[in-house]
Chain A
Amino acid sequence: AQTVTQSQPEMSVQEAETVTLSCTYDTSESDYYLFWYKQPPSRQMILVIRQEAYKQQNATENRFSVNFQKAAKSFSLKISDSQLGDAAMYFCAYRSGGGSNYKLTFGKGTLLTVNP
C-alpha cells in the first residue's frame, strides 16, 4: 500500500517570504499523480497543485510550485511571496494512475502559519 509522509506538523513563515513544505511517499508504481491540497479554517479542501509522475517538469501555479524528485519519491511544495490567506493546513496526497482506483491517500498534514 502507498504511504504519504509529511514530516513537518507545523511551519511558519513571514508574510512575503518563501516557505517549503515537505512530502515523501512510498510506492512501487510508476504511474501516479501527486497533489497538494489546502484546508483553511473553513475546512473546505482546495486543490493547490497537481503533478503527473510521467512529467519531468515541475508543476507551477502562480506563487505555488513543486519540486518533484521521482527517484527520491519526494514532492515538496514551495510557496513564494507568502500571504496571510495562505495560512491553512496543507495536505499532500497520492493517487494511483492505473486502473480504476481513484482513491487519494493523504499525508497527516502541515499546519502553515503566516506571520504579518
Chain B
Amino acid sequence: GAVVSQHPSRVICKSGTSVKIECRSLDFQATTMFWYRQFPKQSLMLMATSNEGSKATYEQGVEKDKFLINHASLTLSTLTVTSAHPEDSSFYICSARDDGLRGAGETQYFGPGTRLLVL
C-alpha cells in the first residue's frame, strides 16, 4: 500500500525558534498534500492544502506567516512553524493524495505524525 513518511517524528525546541517538518510520499506522486493539527483526544483540524508548484491554501484562522508550507516536488511537502511558541505545541499530521488514483479509487494516505513540543 501507499506509504507517507514524516520527519521528524518528534521534536522539542525552544520558544522563538523555527521548526521544519517534512512529509514525503514514498511510492506515489502527490500533487496535493494536506497538513492537519490534532490536539489530545480531539479530531483532526485541517490547516492547509499544499499544492505542488503553487501556493498553499490555508484554512480560515490559520496564520500563513506562522505556518509556512512549501511543496517543491511531487513527493515532498514541508511545514515550517516559524517563531514557535508553547501554544504551537501539538501533533501535526500530513496526508497525501495519490495522483495515480482517480474517482472511486481516490483516497488520502496519512503520515505517522510529528509531535512538536515548544518549551
Q: Hey, which bits of chain A sit against chain B, CB under 8 A?
A: 33, 35, 37, 42-47, 50, 52, 91, 102-104, 106-109, 111
Contacts and interface: CB of A to CB of B under 8 A. Distances in A.
Interface residues of B, number: 21
Contacts of B109: 47
A18 to B, nearest CB: 25
A45 B34 contact: no
A52 B108 contact: no
A50 B109 CA distance: 13
Given A52-B104, A91-B43, A108-B43, A43 B49 contact: no
A44 B97 contact: no
Nearest to B59: A103
A97 to B, nearest CB: 9
B113 A104 contact: no
Given A47-B108, A104-B95, 7 more contacts: A33-B106, A43-B91, A43-B112, A46-B110, A47-B109, A102-B97, A103-B49
A50 B107 CA distance: 8
A42 B44 contact: no
A44 B44 contact: no
A44 B107 contact: no
9 contacts: A43-B112, A44-B113, A45-B95, A91-B44, A103-B46, A104-B95, A106-B43, A107-B43, A109-B42
Contacts of A33: 106
B116 to A, nearest CB: 13
Contacts of B38: 43
Most buried by A among B41, B44, B49: B44
A103 B34 contact: yes
